[in-house]
Amino acid sequence: MALSPLWRKIVAIAGIVVFAIAGGIGINAVYGLNPTLGSVFGIVDDNPIVVPTNTATADPDAGPLYETFTPPADMPAKGQQGTQVIPATASGFNTRAAGIYLPPAALVPNAPALPLVIMMMGHPGNPDPSAIAGVLDDFAAKNKGLAPIVVVPDQLGPDGNDPACADSKAYGNAETYVTKDVVAWATQNLYIIQDPKYWVIAGYSNGGGCAVKYLAKYPDQWKNLIDISGEPFPGSEDPGSVTSTIYGGDTTAFEAAKPIAIMQAAPAGTYDGMTAVFTAGAQDPTYIQAAEDVSGEAQAVGMTVTSYEVPGAGHVGDALTGGLQEGFTVMYPVLGLSAK
């Protein structure tokens, strides 16, 4: 048999690479969540951000920021995005660099202390702040440059696993990383209002399931939630595998870790005063039902709940952007960033 000419082999190999990239980009276009080629392959751009230092004393009791903050004439029109390696001191979790968003008001001399948002993305996915940064830049442009400071931690790790928002021997201490390491780093390194009344735990899809679990389980740590097309509970896409891999086959422990179960087990009054926003794409019936189930329990235990269906959206792209827009429309007055 005659051997194929070398040029044909080269073309064939190149074709495989091109088709693989094209397929990945096609999937990416459907999901609309990874704006760079590196993101498609799970690579987080190395763009270390310089976090401004500020030694001023924050006084949230002085009045809402929309009343007390006067932006300087040279304030940037948009915020800054970048990355930051957050040490996994308590968790030891193997993680990629977190995404960071600093709004315009954080980039001026004598900047005010700002609210904090911890936002988690989906699975598969990357700790990319682009989507939330774009939405908050628009809000900031209408509100004196004011927006929350955002940390987008990697709740998944670099290997493409789904730790199901839990600590486990299989995939490491993902829960401790977000709820302890990320929070500690934010309070020590970002000029934020230290009162959890001004903190939001947020997430999209997998991250939404994490967000509502963490709000339910750690009610003293966050007082506000934005759950965008969130899973009804971590591991909802493959409960059998998660029960086996994450919980060692302990069905009781798996059931107890579901957000609704956590809320139902909490003492009366635990969630009073909390604000929660649940969104889903209007063309995404599975996650509409999930939002209805979890938001119904959130309302039953005392949270102030907003539910919203993003018109024309499925589970991706527009669902994320539209969910963030609705979420911050509700949260801006709650966080003192705009008038009611």
For residues 278 and 291, the answer to whether their CB atoms sit within 8 Å is yes
The secondary structure of residue 106, as a DSSP letter, is G
Q: Mean pLDDT score of the chain, rounded to an integer?
A: 89
Q: In the 8-state DSSP scheme, what is residue 57?
A: P
Q: Which residues contact 212 (CB under 8 A, 6 or more apart)?
A: 203, 225, 227, 230, 259, 276, 294, 298
The pLDDT of residue 340 is 80
Name which of 160, 164, 186, 184 is nearest 173 in CA terms.
164
Structure tokens at 199: 């903190």
pLDDT tens-place string over residues 185-211: 999 999 999 999 999 999 999 999 999
Instruction: Summarize the confidence of residues 267-294 as an average pLDDT.
Output: 98
Specify the pLDDT at position 5: 54
**Quick check: 17 pLDDT over 70?**
no
Strands 224-228 and 149-152: unpaired
**The pLDDT of residue 106 is above 60:** yes
276 band by pLDDT with thresholds 50, 70 and 90 = very high
**pLDDT over threshold 80, residue 37:** no
What is the pLDDT at residue 62?
Answer: 79
DSSP conformation class of 192:
B
Per-residue pLDDT tens over the stretch 50-73: 887 775 666 667 789 999 999 999
In this predicted structure, the answer to whether residue 212 has a pLDDT above a threshold of 80 is: yes
Q: State residue 19's pLDDT score.
A: 41
If you write DSSP's letter for every residue of 286-304 in order, what string do you get? HHHHHHHHHHHHHHHTT-E
The answer, yes or no, to whether residue 13 has pLDDT greater than 50, is: no
Q: How confident is the model at residue 2 (pLDDT cuts 50, 70, 90)?
A: very low
Q: Residue 158: its pLDDT value, please?
A: 95
**CA separation for the pair 53, 250 (Å, rounded):** 46
Per-residue pLDDT at 42 exceeds 50:
no
Strand 304-310's sheet: what is its strand order? 80-84, 98-102, 149-152, 116-120, 199-204, 224-228, 275-281, 304-310
- Which distant-in-sequence residues (6+ apart) come within 8 Å of 340 by Cβ? 333
Does the structure show a pLDDT above 80 at 43? no
Give me the residues paired with residue 41 across strands: none
Q: Which pLDDT score, from 0 to 100, does residue 53 have?
A: 74
Span of 28-42, 99-113, 306-320 with lowest mean pLDDT? 28-42
% of the chain with per-residue pLDDT over 70: 85
Q: What average pLDDT does range 103-107 have in this prediction?
A: 97
Question: Helix 130-141 to helix 318-334 angle, to the nearest 10 degrees?
Answer: 50
User: Which run of H or of E encompasses 98?
Assistant: strand 98-102
